[in-house]
Amino acid sequence: MVGLVLISHSGTLVEGLREMVAQVAGDEVTVATAGGTEDGRLGTSAPRIASAIRQALDSGADEALVLLDLGSAALSLELALEELDPADRLRVRITEAPLVEGAILAAVQASIGSPIDQVIAAAEGAATLAKLPRD
Amino acid sequence: MPEIRLTVIDPSGLHARPAAKFVQAASRFTSRIHIRHDGREADAKSLIALLGLTIRPSSDITLAADGPDADAALAALTAELSPYIDPAGNPAG
């Protein structure tokens, strides 16, 4: 099963998102989070991101899909990927999907055992998902 | 191909949590399963397709299944939706 890694500048945001994901998709999908800096401020941290990715891969996920928020999250993620063992790195994919909606859609798709390409497609579909009725 | 028409009565329509449970239930069957609403059709095994239908309260939906376990799939999915639906033709107040 695909697991998720959620990266945000805010630890509160990813913890809340983890709760939403578990309620909608169930608790079978592994969700690891890296929110905020090591000293609890808003920001991103490469070591925390690397640790979240390893946690997802070590707790039963065959592959990990990473979703992130904005700006320096991408730079920290790049550094985190360099820290990983090459074998782990091969099991990680990244998506530009919107963090909140993408995580929920990806988790539901992962929960039914879909391969990672389908999980990524579900997450990325969140960018154009209709939220309001058409009429 | 068996079909069943239902009316959504939940005040929130078919919202994210029941929709996700519905997708998980549908994925346990090998049949192709579709949900139709307002002239559009979604794959019942895809949450994004289902949420994209923006199914609102008091609207009619049709479930259609095609495959070896089609009848069992429709029965199970109707049961899965039972807190949120009424047989079509009995509009909720």
pLDDT tens-place values along chain A, 135 residues long: 999 999 999 999 999 999 999 999 999 999 999 999 999 999 999 999 999 999 999 998 999 999 999 999 999 999 999 999 999 999 999 999 999 999 999 999 999 999 999 999 999 999 998 887 766
Q: Give the confidence band of B88 by pLDDT, cuts at 50, 70, 90.
A: low
Residue B92 confidence (pLDDT) above 60: no
Q: Where are the domains of chain B?
A: 3-87
Question: Is residue A133 in a domain?
Answer: no
Question: Is residue A135 in a domain?
Answer: no
Question: Is residue A134 in a domain?
Answer: no
Q: Is B34 a catalytic residue?
A: no
Q: Give the confidence band of B93 by pLDDT, cuts at 50, 70, 90.
A: very low
Question: Is residue A47 in a domain?
Answer: yes
Q: What CATH number has the domain bearing residue A50?
A: 3.40.50.510
Distance from CA of A110 to the nearest CA of B (A): 10
- Residues of chain B with pLDDT > 70: what percent? 94
Listed in sequence order, the residues at least 6 apart from B6 whose beta carbon sits closer than 8 Å to its beta carbon are: B60, B61, B62, B63, B78, B81, B85, B86, B87, B88
Domain of A15 in residue numbering reads as 2-128
Please answer yes or no on whether B52 and A133 come within 8 Å at the CB atom. Answer: no
Span B60-81, average pLDDT: 96
Please provide the CATH number assigned to the domain covering B3-87. Answer: 3.30.1340.10
Distance from CA of B27 to the nearest CA of A (A): 6
Contact B81, B19 (CB under 8 A): no
Residue of chain A with shortest Cα separation from B24? A112
CB atoms within 10 A of CB B43: 15
Closest CB from B24, B38, B51 relative to A129? B51
10 Å CB burial of residue A83 (0-12, 13-18, 19+) is middle
